[in-house]
């Protein structure tokens, strides 16, 4: 089992496959980059790696799929870690 991170962030890593049309792919990349919860990396060919920081990334996934310049959205990683609860104070007897 992996060690728990000292912070909790709901992260999802996705690969967005862009349209073959270069102008449309560039326009779509710019549109994706405007979303507050998304960090966009440099595209490698038609593949655009992104990170989504959101408690529930499903609405963002659906939004990405609805964009005209997006062919596919593949989930590479999705954090399922729950936030760590602060330790409970114990009563001395």
What is the dotted CATH code of the domain comprising 11-78?
3.30.70.920
State pTM to two decimals.
0.76
Q: What does the pLDDT look like over 40-52, one tens digit per residue?
A: 999 999 999 999 9
Interatomic CA distance for residues 14 and 75, integer angstroms = 5
pLDDT top residue among 91 and 22? 22
Quick one: residue 54, left, alpha or beta (phi over 0 = left, psi -120 to 50 = alpha)? beta
């Amino acid at each position: 089992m992996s060690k728990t991170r000292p912070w909790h962030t709901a992260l999802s890593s996705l690969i967005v496959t862009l349209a073959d049309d270069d102008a449309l792919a560039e326009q779509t990349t710019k549109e994706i980059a405007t979303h507050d919860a998304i960090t966009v990396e440099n595209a490698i060919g038609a593949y655009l790696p992104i990170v989504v920081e959101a408690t529930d990334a499903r609405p963002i996934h659906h939004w990405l799929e609805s964009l005209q310049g997006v062919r596919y959205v593949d989930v590479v990683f999705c954090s399922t870690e729950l936030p760590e609860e602060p330790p409970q104070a114990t009563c001395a007897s």
